[in-house]
Amino acid sequence: MKRIYMIGIVIVLIILAGAYLFSPFSPLNKVNVNGETINLPSGYTVKNTTKNSVLISNGTNDIKIVPVTYTKDLNTSISLYKDKFSDDYNITEKKIKTKGGTEVIKDEATLKNNTITRYWFVHKKKPFYIRIEKAQKGTEEIILKLIDSM
């Protein structure tokens, strides 16, 4: 085979490999949290990971995904959280649903100019929460897509 054809084949293979790595099917777009695989939204990368949580970011929004390990009941988890922080923070709660039908409880804890938003939900009989500080516009839609991707 001529050398020019070999170079052309190598370039095509490199382009195909790059397309795969940046596609939604790529292993780079998935993260594992406590045995659960989560598909990352486009533009987000893993910033930090521990045994029981993962922090993903797009540069402006940091989203922390945490499975609740101290109890298996979602309502107990939320009430323990409120008991711990309600003295210092003003906590408001709202129920929403994802497109996939998962019920999510959104609470916002506000203290002066600092707002911490948590999205509580159950996946495969395990309670989880997703925590965000200073959420940007459009974050709620991204969170609901994340929950549906689990």
- CATH number of residue 134's parent domain: 3.40.1000
Helices within 35-132 (DSSP H only):
74-85
**What count of other Cβ atoms lies within 10 Å of the Cβ of residue 25?**
10
**119-149 pLDDT, tens digit each:** 888 887 888 888 888 777 777 888 888 888 7
Residues facing residue 33 across a β-bridge: 36
pTM exceeds 0.85: no
Chain CA centroid to CA 15, Å = 29
Assigned domain for 58 exists: yes
Q: Which ranges of the chain have pLDDT less than 50? A: none
In eight-state DSSP terms, residue 96 is: E
| Confidence at residue 14, expressed as pLDDT on a 0 to 100 scale | 92
| Confidence at residue 27, expressed as pLDDT on a 0 to 100 scale | 64
| Confidence at residue 25, expressed as pLDDT on a 0 to 100 scale | 65
Assigned domain for 144 exists: yes
| Confidence at residue 24, expressed as pLDDT on a 0 to 100 scale | 63
CA distance 92 to 85: 12
Assigned domain for 86 exists: yes
Domain count, the chain: 1
| Confidence at residue 42, expressed as pLDDT on a 0 to 100 scale | 74
Q: Which amino acid would we find at residue 7?
A: I
Assigned domain for 66 exists: yes
